[in-house]
Structure 1
Amino acid sequence: ANAAYLETVLRELSLWDKRHNKISTLSGGMKRRVLIAKALAHEPRILFLDEPTAGVDVELRHDMWQMVRRLREQGTTVILTTHYIEEAEDMADRVGVINRGELVLVEDKHTLMRKLGKKQLTLSLQAPLQAIPAALGDLPL
């Protein structure tokens, strides 16, 4: 393996200072970073990431997306599964939608966004609201 590349990966994932630690001593977030580093170690041309940011801290999510952007710029194909639509919007060229285990749609991201036309958020409340919370007051509702 390319030692300089591996060092870059470890530094980008904030693992360089932990490189001599046993994995069992690392936090859950650091263990997730190690798994990502392992997936990148062989400089893949195609990288599969299955919910890579599920349950991780904001810092790791940010580092992860910077790395994915760099890999894409270098020509790596990234196949990503996510429940976070904002990640798909930000990172994807094409979006596939899976419903109950069946791939029901694969579409260019921009074409899909034009077809959908608008973003919608549906909330199910446990109790009626007397007023819109201040944090939501500036949103175009």
Structure 2
Amino acid sequence: MFKKSKPLRVFTVTDTQSSIAKELGISRQALNMHLKKLRELGFLRTGRGFIDLTERAVQLLGRQSGEAIIVLRIEPSKRLHIYSALSNLPVEKVYRVTGDVDVIIHVSQPLLEEVLNRINTLEGVRETRTYVVIETIK
């Protein structure tokens, strides 16, 4: 079963239904009816204490949900400072690697510009290269 599965990027809302209903200016019962319909249409998954927006919902909202990869070359004398700063970025993963690059960053495409802007403020970054994923083959 696991071999047939695929990883999903999920956007989760953890606010209570009461607080969401209040924010929207509707009753909790009305919110439940809307959530049920959105769940039936495949836009949401819900459970105790969470509401997940599906890929379908993210696409409908016009948000790209793709992935991007950023590779960095850094000055060795600044590496510890840069590693510390990178650990605070809103990214999927940060890898320290061997070879002709020093760091590989896996980031959600909607956050790409923000992440690149923050990287550009770091002293000691020699080079950045960015690759946007257009298709996952496997």
Normalized against structure 2, the TM-score is what? 0.28
TM-score by length of structure 1 reads: 0.27
User: More helix by proportion, 1 or 2?
Assistant: 1
Higher strand share: 2
Q: Which has the higher contact order (CA 8 A, sep 6+)?
A: 2
